[in-house]
Amino acid sequence: MPRQLIPRPTLQRLPAYLNYLRSLPPDTRSISATAVAAALGLNEVQVRKDLSAASKSGGRPKTGYTVGILIRELEEFLGYTSIKNAVLVGVGRLGGAMLAFTGFEERGVHIIAAFDNDPAKIGTEIGGVPIFDIARLESVCRSRGARIGILTTSPLPAQELCERMIGAGIEAVWNFSTAHLEVPEQIIVRNEDLSVSLAMISRELEERNHGK
Amino acid sequence: MPRQLIPRPTLQRLPAYLNYLRSLPPDTRSISATAVAAALGLNEVQVRKDLSAASKSGGRPKTGYTVGILIRELEEFLGYTSIKNAVLVGVGRLGGAMLAFTGFEERGVHIIAAFDNDPAKIGTEIGGVPIFDIARLESVCRSRGARIGILTTSPLPAQELCERMIGAGIEAVWNFSTAHLEVPEQIIVRNEDLSVSLAMISRELEERNHGK
């Protein structure tokens, strides 16, 4: 059964609902869309719509959603329950932090290998993930069927490494390098640029100051 | 002169334009909105509108924008040119990576101090930023006029630390903890949740597979 394309803004809000539901006291059996909206400061109509897109079971008129079921439905909907192999390229500080982060597995992403060109790092491991020579990028990606490539290098080698990953079967590139990547149309690129967040914070601070 | 509120999606695209302009060969004197749109795979009308929101000088009919001037205008518009003091709370792997990251300064954010409760970390420094005992959070924030608090702890102590920062004058909280934070209305919160990106990647991979 083909999944329906859902609007990106909805998809962006779903993990926040999931985080909130997981943070509830364990004895909370059910919750209404109204309560979720109030807790997260969102519009109630929107929350209702978002949850009904993700939940097959649906909420009941008075009690709302059963928390445990809604959590499982959100997890499945977000793709957290189907594990996809990933590789990470560039074991600097950020790359190292990501390898040590334990939250990927429970979100459906299994980092099977990392790559670097620093002899001091090659052959070691972080968070149980082995670090290989970058020369082995293609062979490891192919033999393990890696689908996601996490790019945590500096901007300079990013385009070349991106192309090598795609050549080795990677379907989605998660780009932390700040480089602008040129990729074939069928490849998914998600740019993670902290400077966007910084810009939002800076602008808002200034707008508020000027508004005073 | 009060700044105009600009739409968030525009603000989200501006750093990408800036990255792209900075990546151009140094001898590129001018560039058209058309060329920027083509390079970034965006809609031309949108790019034209975004750039005109940020650029006072404006593009000229044939040659477009002068690259150097447009870069400076974007930097100013994004708040990168007005330096704001920030503190970072939680010097784990992610916190350490952020302290070592050299890109904040050029984006208007000066991290003046970091805090942790680990005696092995207190008194040391990373990337030139001193690490203090968390007990000194309030006094350092106040004495240095810190306006931005970067929260890189686990979710559990996040709310309490957030409240302490706000009590010490922090106006904006950049939250990497995945905790849902309750803050007074006038406080800016920006949640950085990598699971949102992971969910987007996972869903897109699945949608494409099912579409095959």
Q: Among B77, B97, B127, give the residue marking a domain's end.
A: B77
Model pLDDT, residue B4 = 55
- Does residue B65 sit in the same domain as residue B145? no
More confident residue, A71 or A179: A71
Q: Is the CB of residue A6 less than 8 Å away from at least one CB of chain B?
A: yes
> What is the number of residues in chain B?
212
Q: Is the CB of residue A17 less than 8 Å away from at least one CB of chain B?
A: no
Per-residue pLDDT of A29-54, as tens digits, reads 999 999 999 988 889 999 999 999 99
Closest CA to A152 of A80, A96, A68, A112: A96
Q: Is the CB of residue B38 less than 8 Å away from at least one CB of chain A?
A: no
The whole domain housing A130 covers 84-195
Per-residue pLDDT of B105-141, as tens digits, reads 878 899 999 999 999 999 999 999 999 999 999 999 9
Question: Would residue B209 count as lying in a domain?
Answer: no
Model pLDDT, residue A211 = 56
> What is the count of residue pairs from A and B with beta carbons less than 8 Å apart?
192
Reported pTM:
0.75
For position A35, which CATH number holds?
Answer: 1.10.10.10
**How high does pLDDT run on average in chain A?**
88
Please give the ipTM for the structure prediction: 0.74
- Does residue A66 sit in the same domain as residue A20? yes
- Does residue A94 sit in the same domain as residue A185? yes
Q: Is the CB of residue B106 less than 8 Å away from at least one CB of chain A?
A: no
Q: How far is A72 from chain B (nearest CA, A)?
A: 14
Overall number of domains in chain A: 2
Model pLDDT, residue B161 = 97
**Mean pLDDT across the stretch A94-109?**
83
HEC profile of B70-91: HHHHHHHHCCCCCCEEEEEECC
- Does residue B96 sit in the same domain as residue B144? yes
CB atoms B194 and A192 under 8 Å: yes
CB atoms A15 and B196 under 8 Å: yes
Q: Is A189 helix (H, G, I), strand (E, B) or coil?
A: strand
Model pLDDT, residue A147 = 96
CB atoms A198 and B108 under 8 Å: yes
Question: Would residue B124 count as lying in a domain?
Answer: yes
- The listed range with the strongest mean pLDDT (B27-41, B90-104, B160-174) is B160-174
How deeply is A113 buried, as exposed, middle or buried, from its count of CB atoms within 10 A (0-12, 13-18, 19+)? buried
**Mean pLDDT across the stretch A196-206?**
80
CB atoms A174 and B197 under 8 Å: yes
- Relative to beta strand B65-66, strand B172-175 is unpaired
Question: Would residue B201 count as lying in a domain?
Answer: no
Q: Give the A window 115-154 contacts with B, CB below 8 Å.
A: 147-148
- Residue of B18, B93, B202 lying closest to A79 (CB–CB): B202
Cα B125 to its chain centre, rounded Å, is 22
- Residues of chain A in contact with residue B174, where contact means CB-CB under 8 angstroms, are 197-198, 201
Residue of A nearest to B192 (CA): A197
Residue B210 pLDDT class (50, 70, 90 cuts): low
- Does residue A176 sit in the same domain as residue A125? yes
Q: How far is A60 from chain B (nearest CA, A)?
A: 26
Q: CB of A107 within 8 A of CB of A84?
A: no
- Does residue A62 sit in the same domain as residue A122? no
Q: Rounded to whole angstroms, how far apart are CA atoms B212 and B209? A: 5
Cβ atoms within 10 Å of B74's Cβ, excluding its own: 22
- Does residue B113 sit in the same domain as residue B156? yes
